[in-house]
Amino acid sequence: MSFVLTGFADEISNDPDEQIETLIQAKINYLELRGVNGRNILEINDDQALDFKSKLDKANLSVSSIGSPIGKVQIRSDLTNHMNHFRIALQRAKMFRTPYVRVFSFYHEGINPDLCRGEIITFFKQMLYEAHIAKCIILHENERNIYGETPARCLDLMETLNSPRLRLAFDPANFVQAGIKPLIDAWPNLKHHTEYFHIKDALAKNGRVVPAGHGDGDLAKILQQATANNFNGFLSIEPHLKADDPDYGGSGPERFLTAVRALRSLLEQIGSIESFEKPPLKDHE
């Protein structure tokens, strides 16, 4: 099976033209849409979104997913307004012709996650209802300090909600930064729920983000196993490299291209095939 490369182009630059120019230089046909002109895709108006879409269309670039910030708020905050933002994310997904919307599972500062689990499940059920109507798929990303920080709680969400419209965006670096070994502690139980990858790596000793294959995320082995499991989908490059990093720093385009080269080198090492065609959409009904 094959992988299709995409990435967070807003880490290249706030300037849409520079984003597009760098994606073309990198020979990447997709982007995960999070920020345009320094603003989140959910914060700009329809005309601004359509203007960006026109630029992408002219460059023959497509959107792999809406990289929304939904669920990256405290669980006991104004969730009515947050649900309205989620509906905007679904509208943006339709506008940019992608089925995927990335979400998180809420911060719970000062609250035992077990005590707010019910509230999180309730909100996810509401999102899944809206996603079903919109024919979209929610991608839950594991992240530090949210409910889905640990593999066990990611699995809990998947098994409790048991919806074909909820899948995982597996982020090895975020697990490393949470003190978790992705290959041993996360991948075995989450691989069958994973439909998308966020590609960055990290060092366990200090959490420093590094390019794919340069950290403790075991990306090579995980992607090799994903290939063996017939995974056919997106690898979304999210460099998170610092401009002043002594090894991987530089301008936004330079850091993005460094991350791209590292991932392609890793794929070559494990004998995986890169595809430039949109992966087939699985049955989510």
Domains in the chain, start-ordered, CATH in brackets? 2-275 (3.20.20.150)
- Average pLDDT over every residue of 93-117: 97
Quick: pLDDT tens for 148-179.
Answer: 999 999 999 999 999 999 999 999 999 999 99
Q: What does the pLDDT look like over 240-257, one tens digit per residue?
A: 999 999 999 999 999 999
In the predicted structure, residue 187 carries a pLDDT above the cut 80? yes
Find the mean pLDDT for residues 15-24: 98
Q: Does residue 284 carry a pLDDT above 90? A: no
62-97 pLDDT, tens digit per residue, is 999 999 999 999 999 989 999 999 999 999 999 999
- The pLDDT of residue 280 is above 90: no
In whole angstroms, what is the distance from residue 186 CA to residue 65 CA?
23
| CA angle in degrees (0–180, nearest 5) for 233-284-155 | 75
Name the β-bridge partners of 100: 137
Q: What percent of the chain has pLDDT over 70?
A: 98
Residue whose structure tokens are 């309730």: 122
* 101 pLDDT more than 90: yes
Q: What is the pLDDT of residue 217?
A: 99
Sheet arrangement for strand 166-170: 30-33, 62-66, 100-103, 137-141, 166-170, 194-199, 233-237, 2-7, 273-275
DSSP state of 241: -
Q: What is the mean pLDDT of residues 124-153?
A: 98
Higher-pLDDT residue of 76 and 1 is 76
Number of CB atoms found within 10 A of residue 154's CB:
25
Q: What is the pLDDT of residue 232?
A: 93
Q: What is the pLDDT of residues 200-220, one digit of tens each?
A: 999 999 999 999 999 999 999
Tell me the CA distances in angstroms from 10 to 46, 167, 261, 268, one per residue in order: 19, 24, 18, 26
Task: Give the span between the Cα atoms of 68 and 85, in whole angstroms.
Answer: 9
Res 94: pLDDT: 98
> Can you give the pTM of this predicted structure?
0.96
The CA–CA distances, whole Å, from 262 to 9, 71, 199, 240, 257 equal 17, 30, 10, 14, 9
User: Which pLDDT does position 285 carry in this prediction?
Assistant: 62
Please state whether beta strands 35-36 and 39-40 pair in parallel, antiparallel, or not at all (unpaired).
antiparallel
Nearest to 165 by CA among 95, 101, 88: 101
